[in-house]
């Protein structure tokens, strides 16, 4: 292979560095807590394929079908089912494919998140933030048949690629992330900040690539209604299906969600948890701001946490927030003394156990 | 130059996303889509004007009005110049008029009322059971016949418009008895609904 050939560069771009031992240890500890909690309580491993995971599996097996007036699968984004289908084609059973993909992707996601955070804040913050992400109370979602792990990998990889000037790779990663979860659109903001920082050094071609990468999540998002229009003759199938889950964006949605908080909290334990987490997340964003998190990152995190309220409910905020990276940087800032770090790690592990054992009753 | 590269890049991302979805996921069959469309029609239309036909017997006209929705949907089925039935899922009870000898009331309520016909269609759509589809003619129109899998000895064939999925004719057989129902789905509301409810003797029946 000649030195000038693209193959080594491509290989470097696609191959992850060897994860540090402590990171593998915390990943293993977090997953062990999740699996042990499930095995030793009334909950079971089948819960990892429950709730939304069952819908993703259905899409993977049979594709999309909009059922008017009923909850149906076009509400679920396509990349994760595509990956499940590919893994199943390798001989992995449907029941195993989701948790297998999610747990392995979570390890890769932690590695990339650590690299990204180290570039922004240095090793000490990166190590604490990655550790907290590995054992965050809601991190059992990263073990379920949900696409969050995949978005963690693709979003972190996309931003890292942009920081290193690999704008086409960044476009591919964040575009793919937006095909897995709509929250990935928020990655456009940090990418825009990085592109702005690099503007003096970019040539016309690279500048175009950078703009394409910033717009890639929205461009990829457009592919989904286009696809639904092709196969179902209905490009609005996603929003129609979403409406059946009570998820319809409304101009007064945020105000309604906040006004209805007392009734919502009284009715559902899941919404009580999500309400508590909403305020915890806002506090962590404040801590992230104190740490010196770039403003566009903060804006992206606010978008991930606050915009879902526009559907008029706090439901799901806890889970959506897992993709707002500044929350974990804020947590690393809060745990900046050794004593606080130990307390928060212990609290996180205990809450992870409690959250996991209620998986069957409290919808993540 | 940068603008052209950016626009081309966005187009490539959208096209690649679409391509990955087309290649990576199975597409619904025509039968799947027609079953889902038929479910929508049955859900949206509470009133059916229906003509029942069975071998060796004269045609019988009737109307069926859905009076409540949900898992325990109820309806009223009135046979022209004949009895009035109260219908709920799996049950039919004559509340007025004399019985028609040989008239399979349970079968008639299963295929003549949108609320009850909706149940197997919805179940098939949700569970993605394999439904055979073939070309046919029903109620004088080109139609697609949707053959639902047999269930507890019952066999349902729903004929729908090939374009819209609108149900035109339902045929069901149970223990050797077959019945066909030509369906005209109707919307009803306001004064017409009040008059109809009155005619069907359901003034005091609560609406859910």
| Chain B residue at shortest CA distance from A71 | B126
Beta carbons of B24 and A227 less than 8 Å apart: no
Contact at 8 Å (CB) between A67 and B126? yes
pLDDT band at residue B67 using 50, 70 and 90 as cut-offs: confident
Token pair for A333: 């800032």
CA distance A130 to A15: 20
Helix (H) or strand (E) holding B57: none
pLDDT band at residue B208 using 50, 70 and 90 as cut-offs: very low
- What is the three-class DSSP state of B73? coil
Once rounded to an integer, what is the mean pLDDT over residues B44-54?
A: 91
Q: Which pLDDT belongs to residue A308?
A: 85
Domain ranges in chain A are 18-357
CA distance A41 to A52: 21
Beta carbons of B26 and A63 less than 8 Å apart: yes
Q: Which pLDDT belongs to residue A3?
A: 43
A40-49, A104-113, B83-92, B178-187 — most confident range: A104-113
Q: Which pLDDT belongs to residue A8?
A: 63
Helix (H) or strand (E) holding A4: none
Beta carbons of B9 and A212 less than 8 Å apart: yes
Ordered strands of the B60-68 beta sheet: B91-96, B84-88, B74-79, B60-68, B47-53, B177-186, B167-174, B154-160, B141-147, B132-138
CA distance A297 to A327: 10
| Chain B residue at shortest CA distance from A173 | B13
Q: Which pLDDT belongs to residue A217?
A: 96
Residue B120 Cα distances to A63, A197, B34, B90, angstroms? 21, 59, 14, 12
A181, A212, A218: best to mutate for the B interface, most B CBs within 10 A:
A212
Non-local (6+) Cβ contacts of B39 within 8 A are A67, A68, A69, A70, B118, B121, B122, B125
| Pick from B2, B12, B43: CB nearest A69 | B43
State how far residue B146 is from chain A, nearest Cα, in angstroms: 16
| Chain B residue at shortest CA distance from A229 | B18
DSSP sequence for A214-265: HHHHHHHHHHHHHHHHHHHS-TTHHHHHHHHTT----TTHHHHHHHTHHHHH
Burial A193-216 (b: 16+ CB within 10 A, else e): bbbeebeeebeeebbbbbbbbbbb
CA distance A191 to A174: 9
Q: Which pLDDT belongs to residue A215?
A: 96
Looking up tokens 């950016």 gives B6
| Pick from B3, B4, B18: CB nearest A223 | B18
State how far residue A252 is from chain B, nearest Cα, in angstroms: 28
Name the pTM for this structure: 0.87
| Chain A residue at shortest CA distance from B1 | A204
CA distance A115 to A117: 6
Share of chain B above pLDDT 70, in %: 96
Q: Which pLDDT belongs to residue A41?
A: 77
| Pick from A66, A219, A222: CB nearest B36 | A66
Token pair for A192: 């825009």
Q: Flag whether residue B57 sits within 8 Å of chain A, measured between CB atoms.
A: no
Domain ranges in chain B are 30-199
pLDDT band at residue B202 using 50, 70 and 90 as cut-offs: confident
pLDDT in tens, A303-337: 999 888 888 888 889 999 999 999 999 999 999 99
Q: Flag whether residue B128 sits within 8 Å of chain A, measured between CB atoms.
A: yes
Interface predicted TM-score (ipTM): 0.88
| Chain B residue at shortest CA distance from A83 | B24
Q: Candidates 1.10.3470, 2.60.40, 2.50.20, 3.40.50; correct CATH number of B30-199?
A: 2.50.20
A154, A203, A223, A236: best to mutate for the B interface, most B CBs within 10 A:
A223
State how far residue B122 is from chain A, nearest Cα, in angstroms: 8
* Cα four-point dihedral sign A310, A245, A364, A86: negative
Looking up tokens 């039968």 gives B31
Q: Flag whether residue B149 sits within 8 Å of chain A, measured between CB atoms.
A: no
Over 70: is that where the pLDDT of B177 sits? yes
Q: Which pLDDT belongs to residue A4?
A: 45
Mean pLDDT per segment of 10 residues, for chain A of length 364 residues? Answer: 51 72 96 91 79 93 90 94 97 94 97 96 97 96 96 97 94 97 95 94 90 96 96 91 81 81 78 90 96 96 90 86 97 96 96 88 71
β pairing state of B84-88 and B47-53: unpaired
Of A105, A114, A111, A94, which Cα lies nearest the Cα of A143?
A105
| Pick from A70, A222, A226: CB nearest B122 | A70
Burial A64-88 (b: 16+ CB within 10 A, else e): bbbbbbeebbbbbbbbbbbbbbebb
DSSP sequence for A196-212: HHTTTT--HHHHHHHHH
């Amino acid at each position: 292979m000649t030195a000038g050939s693209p193959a080594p560069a491509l290989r470097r771009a696609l191959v992850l560095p060897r994860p540090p031992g402590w990171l593998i240890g915390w990943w293993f500890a977090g997953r062990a807590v999740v699996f042990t909690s499930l095995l030793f309580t009334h909950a079971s491993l089948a819960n990892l394929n429950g709730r939304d995971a069952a819908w993703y599996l259905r899409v993977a097996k049979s594709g999309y079908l909009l059922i008017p007036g009923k909850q149906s699968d076009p509400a679920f984004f396509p990349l994760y089912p595509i990956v499940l289908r590919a893994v199943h084609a390798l001989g992995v059973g449907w029941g195993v494919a989701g948790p297998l993909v999610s747990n392995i992707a979570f390890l890769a996601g932690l590695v990339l998140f650590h690299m990204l955070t180290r570039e922004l804040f240095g090793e000490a913050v990166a190590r604490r933030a990655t550790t907290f992400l590995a054992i965050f109370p809601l991190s059992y979602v990263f073990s379920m048949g949900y696409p969050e792990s995949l978005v963690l990998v693709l979003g972190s990889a996309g931003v890292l690629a942009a920081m290193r000037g690999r704008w086409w790779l960044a476009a591919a990663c964040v575009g793919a992330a937006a095909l897995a979860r709509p929250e990935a659109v928020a990655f456009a903001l940090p990418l825009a900040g990085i592109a702005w920082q690099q503007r003096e050094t970019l040539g016309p071609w690279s500048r175009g690539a950078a703009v394409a990468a910033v717009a890639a999540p929205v461009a990829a998002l457009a592919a989904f209604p286009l696809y639904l229009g092709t196969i179902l003759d209905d490009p609005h199938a996603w929003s129609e299906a979403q409406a059946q889950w009570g998820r319809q964006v409304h101009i007064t949605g945020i105000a309604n969600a906040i006004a209805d908080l007392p009734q919502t909290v009284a009715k559902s334990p899941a919404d009580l948890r999500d309400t508590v987490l909403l305020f915890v997340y806002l506090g962590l964003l404040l801590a992230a701001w104190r740490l010196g998190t770039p403003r566009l990152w903060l804006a992206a995190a606010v978008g991930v946490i606050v915009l879902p309220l526009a559907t008029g409910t706090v439901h799901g905020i806890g889970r959506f927030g897992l993709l707002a990276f500044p929350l974990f940087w804020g947590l690393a800032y809060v745990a900046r003394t050794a004593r606080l770090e130990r307390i928060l790690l212990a609290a996180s592990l205990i809450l992870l156990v409690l959250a996991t054992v209620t998986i069957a009753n409290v919808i993540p | 130059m940068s603008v052209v590269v950016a626009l081309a890049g966005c187009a490539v991302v959208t096209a690649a996303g679409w391509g990955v979805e087309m290649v990576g996921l199975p597409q619904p069959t025509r039968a799947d889509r027609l079953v889902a469309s038929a479910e929508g029609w049955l859900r949206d239309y509470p009133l059916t004007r229906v003509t029942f036909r069975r071998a060796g017997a004269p045609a019988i006209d009737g109307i069926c009005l859905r009076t409540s929705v949900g898992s325990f949907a109820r309806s009223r089925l009135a046979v022209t110049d004949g009895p009035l039935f109260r219908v709920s899922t799996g049950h039919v009870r004559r509340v007025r008029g004399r019985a028609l000898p040989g008239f399979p009331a349970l079968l008639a309520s299963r295929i003549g009322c949108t609320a009850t016909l909706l149940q197997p269609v919805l179940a098939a759509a949700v569970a993605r059971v394999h439904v055979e589809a073939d070309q046919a003619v029903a109620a004088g129109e080109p139609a697609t016949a949707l053959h639902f899998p047999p269930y507890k000895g019952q066999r349902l064939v729903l004929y729908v418009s090939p374009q819209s999925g609108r149900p035109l004719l339902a045929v069901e057989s149970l223990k050797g008895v077959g019945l066909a129902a030509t369906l005209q789905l109707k919307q009803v509301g306001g004064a017409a609904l009040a008059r109809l409810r009155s005619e069907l003797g359901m003034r005091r029946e609560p609406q859910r």
